[in-house]
Amino acid sequence: MRRTFFAILLAFTAWPALAQTTAPAQGKQDKEISASDDPTAATSESKAVPLGEIRRFVTTYEAVKNAYVEPKTDTQLMHSAVRGLLLDLDPHSVYFDHDDAERFDEDAEGQYEGLGIQVQQQPNATLRIVAPMDGSPAQKSGLKSGDIITAIDGKPVDRDNGNRQLRGKAGTPVRLTIRRKGVAKAFDVKVVRAKIVVPSVETKMLEPGFATVRVSGFQANTAVEFEQAITRLEQQSGGKLRGLIIDLRSNPGGLLNAAVQMADDVVDSGTIVSTRGRQKEGDTVYTAKPGDLLDGAPIVVLVDAGSASASEVLAGALKDLKRARIVGSRTFGKGSVQSLLPLDNGDAVKLTTARYYTPSGKSIQGVGIKPDVIVRADGKQASAGDYRESALPGHLRGDDEGAPGDDDTGGEVLDGQAPLNAALVELKRMAGVTAPAPHAAAPAAKRKPQ
């Protein structure tokens, strides 16, 4: 069900990032997030639009409606007008039509109704199956990676929105026409849709006592998944972890309260993050409550150029509160907060309404977070590149953007095992383990003085 309130979200892409805030996930019962997540909650004094501006708009509107080479309906023109209103604000203020707004909600919730299948739209109006999720209806029906979907319920795949055709109410069937390598003829597969829960947290024990938690995005249940992951890892370690890596590489962000709750899970006190916008009555400060799931065990946060927004909230909080060391590459630098306003026709407006600040009071907008231990993807200096907030056309200028110490270079995307190895080396050093990690050589790393 679509929500009818403003909600905070943090994500560095306009689409398909993550969606609006839901009620705070219930993890540690003594740690609750403030009931108001909305920096725009306060009522502002309305100001009349100048009559001259209204006249110019109406004149232009009527000219387009009456004289444009092809006819346009009032609905089309008004949608275009609203999109234009948002277009020149910043890269993250956008208008969603009904389908995009629903998809936005689904991504935030971390669940949807469908087949549990990852597909890739092909140029020839087919869908290639990348992978079915474990235990999903798609997997149970025998679908495999590499299969090609050529038709859905006997109709050709929509060239622009084929993935949407696979979605539908749980319990409803869908018939897929499949072409499979090694099979001479195409064949049909009947799959019954179900509610699909997309996990955002994965775990791995690296060495006895040392583990990593990979967070791919901040969804409604991410904090609960994180808490459950810590419990499992501690059981595997005989009751207590010696150290943890929180892997946020290429995590685009998501829900603010999920990042706040994760930080709250591992810190005892202090400000986690604050938001400030034009509506001062809605400015919010999020603070930690007593309780540390790791009982003070060292933490390393692994980041790269794709770590943005809510990822930067978590990394910035743990860095400023001296609860973790940051390893990797400079982060994306998205320090703005978006509020989602559902409209009565099912569409929605995502509007930038505030900036967020780390516990030390710094804004990372346009600047990003510089790691304590810098890891290079190939041993070379990172180039300026375009993979950063400050390279986006029309971005909000950050408080510290261009200030002394801002070298205006973007970070790097750090794929593979080597950056994780470098993070493990730093984690073991923090835990007092001096022996080198028995892994493949890590990329060149440079540690800043503590």
Active site residue 268: no
Q: Are residues 136 and 174 in the same domain?
A: yes
Q: Are residues 239 and 146 in the same domain?
A: no
Does residue 72 sit within a domain?
no
Q: Are residues 193 and 211 in the same domain?
A: no
- Provide DSSP, 377-442: SSSSPPP--S-SGGGSTTPPPPTTTTSTT----------SSHHHHHHHHHHHHHTT--SPPSSSPP
Q: Among 161, 177, 197, which residue terminates a domain?
A: 197
Of 250, 320, 336, 428, which residue is the catalytic one? 320
CATH number at residue 273: 3.90.226.10
Q: Are residues 229 and 311 in the same domain?
A: yes
% of the chain surpassing 90 pLDDT: 44
Q: Are residues 128 and 240 in the same domain?
A: no
pLDDT score at 420: 95
Q: Are residues 139 and 158 in the same domain?
A: yes
Does residue 2 sit within a domain?
no
Q: Are residues 189 and 219 in the same domain?
A: no
Number of C-alpha atoms within 13 angstroms, CB side, residue 162? 24
Number of domains forming the structure of the chain: 2
Confidence of residue 25 (pLDDT cuts 50, 70, 90): very low
Q: Are residues 163 and 297 in the same domain?
A: no
Q: Whole-angstrom Cα distance, residue 362 to residue 368?
A: 10
Q: Are residues 321 and 427 in the same domain?
A: yes
- The residue segments making up the domain with residue 384 are 201-447
pLDDT score at 250: 87
pLDDT score at 438: 47
Does residue 239 sit within a domain?
yes
Strand partners, 338: 9, 352
pLDDT score at 222: 95
Q: Which residue has the tokens 């725009």?
A: 40
pLDDT score at 47: 65
Q: Are residues 273 and 138 in the same domain?
A: no
Polymer length in residues for the chain: 450
Q: Whole-angstrom Cα distance, residue 313 to residue 302?
A: 13
Does residue 140 sit within a domain?
yes
Does residue 47 sit within a domain?
no
Confidence of residue 5 (pLDDT cuts 50, 70, 90): very low
Contact 365, 338 (CB under 8 A): no
Confidence of residue 410 (pLDDT cuts 50, 70, 90): low
Does residue 92 sit within a domain?
no
Computed over every residue of the chain, the mean pLDDT equals 81
Of 200, 216, 250, 309, which residue is the catalytic one? 309
Q: Are residues 184 and 134 in the same domain?
A: yes
What's the pLDDT tens digit per position in 200-227?
A: 999 999 999 999 999 999 998 999 999 9
Dihedral of CA atoms 142, 148, 153, 156 in degrees, nearest 10, equals 180
pLDDT score at 37: 36
Contact 178, 148 (CB under 8 A): yes
Does residue 329 sit within a domain?
yes
- Provide DSSP, 132-175: EPTTSHHHHTT--TT-EEEEETTEEPPTTTHHHHH---TT-EEE
According to DSSP, residue 280 is labeled G
Active site residue 295: no
Q: What would the mean pLDDT of 23-41 be, rounded to a whole number? A: 36
Of 37, 136, 265, 334, which residue is the catalytic one? 334
| CA distances for 302 relative to 112, 285, 394, angstroms | 29, 25, 29
Amino acid at 59: T
Q: Whole-angstrom Cα distance, residue 257 to residue 126?
A: 38
CATH number at residue 129: 2.30.42.10
Q: Are residues 263 and 347 in the same domain?
A: yes
Q: Among 171, 197, 223, which residue terminates a domain?
A: 197
% of the chain surpassing 70 pLDDT: 78
Active site residue 334: yes
Q: Among 175, 197, 219, which residue terminates a domain?
A: 197
pLDDT score at 112: 82
Dihedral of CA atoms 422, 424, 426, 429 in degrees, nearest 10, equals -140
